[in-house]
Chains A and B, each alone.
Chain A
Amino acid sequence: MDANMAIFNGLLKGLGVTLQVLIYSVLLALVLSFIIGFMSLSKWRIPRWSATLFIEVFRGTSLLVQLFWLYFSLPILGIRLPAMLVGVLGLGLNYGAYGAVVVRTSIRAVPKGQTEASIALNMSPYRRMRSVILPQAFLIMLPTFSNLTIELLKGTSLISLVTLADLTFQALALRSATMETTQIFIYLLIIYFIIAYPITLGFRWLEKKQSVGRG
C-alpha cells in the first residue's frame, strides 16, 4: 500500500511538467499551423517556398532527432536554452509543421462554390476568409487537430530523453529506486490515457457544437 502511494506521488510530480509542456507546445504548434498554413497558400513564391521548406524539414527529420539537435547541438553553437524551452520548441515546431498541412488542406477543402458565392456578393478577400471560408475550414480541421493533439501528448514523453522530469522520466527514476517495474508502468500508461481521453471528448464536443444545423 505504502509502495503504491510512493509510486503514485512520484508520478504526480512528473504530471505537472508533462501538462505544462503539453499546453505550451500545443499553443506554439497552433499558432505556427495557421501562420505556416496561410503562407503555404500564398500567391507569392517566397512565403510559399519557405512554408514548404519548414513543413518538409520538420516533418521529414523525426521528432527525437530535432529534440536532440536542439538539446545537444545548440549549446555547442553557443545558444543555451532551458530544457523546458527545448521541449516546447521541439514539439511545437514539429507538430506545427503537421498542423500547417491540416490548415492548408482544410481551407482548400471548402467547396469552390462558397468562394464564388462570396465573390458574387462582392465580399472582400478578408471578409470571405473570415465569414465564409475559415468557419467551414475550421470544422474540417477539428478531427485532425484532435488526433494531432493526442500525438503531441504522446510526443511529450520524448522530453524525458533530454532530461526533463516529466511523467516518463519520473517513472524511470522510480523504477531504479523501487524496482516495482510492473506497477509503475501500468500506472504510467493509465495516467497518459486519462489525460488523452478528455482531450478526445473535448474535441468531439467542440465538433458537435460547431456543426449545428449542417446536414
Chain B
Amino acid sequence: MWSWDFAISILPQLLQAMVVTIEATIVGFIVATVLGLFWTICRRSSIKPLKFAVVAIVEFVRSTPLLVQLYFIFFVFPTFGITLSPFSAGVLGLGLHYSTYLTEVFRTGIDSIPKGQWEASTALNLSKIKVWTHVIMPQAIPPIIPMLGNYFIVMFKETPLLSAISIVEMVQAAQIIGSNSFRYVEAFTDVGVIFLLLSYPASLLFQYTERRIQHRFDLSVKASKIEEDHYATNK
C-alpha cells in the first residue's frame, strides 16, 4: 500500500515544483499589493464614477471563483490579442483576485488612524504626498502586517489552482507523478504535508505578531475560567 521509499524518492521532484509555487505566491502577492493599493486610492477619490466603478469591480471579482478568473485570463485574453504565458496569467489572476481582499486590509489600516493626525498634518501645512508617506502610511502599515501575512499564506494555499492552466506547481507535479506511477496516495500526501509544514509555522508566526500588536493583558480572564474548570472536572 503505502511505500515510504516512493514517498521519499519523489520529494526532489516535488520540492523543485515547490519553487514554482513559492515564486507564484511572491509575484502574485506583489501584484495584489500594488492593485490593492490602487483600489484603495480610487475608493478614496472624490470622483464619484471612479469610486463607484472600483467598488463594483472589487465586489464582482471577490464574488466569483479564482479558477474561472484564471480561465478567463488564460483563454479569453488571447482573443483580444493579449497572450500571456501560463505563469504571467496565473500570477495576474491570483494577484487580481486577492487585491480585492487586500484593499479591505489597507482601508482598515487607514481608517484606524485618528482624525487628529490628519488635522495635525494640515496644521503643519504638509504636502499631500508628505502626509501619506510620512504620517499616514508609517502608522497604518504596522498594525496590518499580520493581516497581510495571513493573506500571503492564503494565496500560497491557492496556488494549486494554477495547475488548471498548466503551470507545473506542486499539485500538477504530483498529478504527473501519480499518472506515471499510479501512486497517487504518496504523491498527494507528500504535497499536503509540504503545504502544512510551510503554512502552519507561518500562520503561528503571524498569530504571535498579532497578539504582540494587540497586547492586552486581562486578569479577569482567569477568574471566570474557574467556573469552567468546575464544570469540566466534575461533570
Instruction: For the complex formed, measure the closest distance between the CB of B42 and the CB atoms of chain A, giving whole angstroms.
Output: 20
- Alpha-carbon distance A76/B189, docked complex (angstroms): 13
| A interface footprint on B68-96 (CB within 8 Å = 1, 0 otherwise) | 11011001100100000000000000000
- Alpha-carbon distance A66/B171, docked complex (angstroms): 11
Stretch at the interface among B57-65, B108-116, B139-147: B57-65
Q: Are B72's CB and A185's CB within 8 A?
A: yes
| B interface footprint on A133-160 (CB within 8 Å = 1, 0 otherwise) | 0000000000000000010011111101
Interface SS of chain A: helix, strand, loop or mixed?
A: helix
Instruction: For the complex formed, measure the closest distance between the CB of B130 and the CB atoms of chain A, giving whole angstroms.
Output: 36
Which residue on chain A has the smallest CB distance to residue B179?
Answer: A72
- Taking a contact as CB atoms closer than 8 A, the residue among B69, B184, B199, B224 that contacts A112 in the complex is B224
| A interface footprint on B167-188 (CB within 8 Å = 1, 0 otherwise) | 0000100110010001111001
| A interface footprint on B220-235 (CB within 8 Å = 1, 0 otherwise) | 1100100111011100
Q: Are B67's CB and A196's CB within 8 A?
A: no
Q: List 21 A-B contacts (CB under 8 A).
A: A57-B196, A61-B196, A64-B163, A65-B160, A66-B192, A69-B188, A69-B192, A72-B184, A72-B185, A72-B188, A73-B184, A112-B220, A115-B227, A125-B231, A154-B64, A156-B65, A168-B67, A168-B71, A181-B75, A186-B76, A189-B60
Chain B residues in the interface with A (C-beta under 8 A): 1, 60, 62-69, 71-72, 75-76, 79, 157-161, 163-164, 171, 174-175, 178, 182-185, 188-189, 191-193, 195-196, 199-200, 203, 218, 220-221, 224, 227-229, 231-233
Chain A residues in the interface with B (C-beta under 8 A): 42-44, 56-57, 59-66, 68-69, 72-73, 76-77, 112, 115-116, 119, 125, 150, 153-158, 160-161, 168, 171-172, 175, 181-182, 185-186, 188-189, 192-193, 196-197, 200
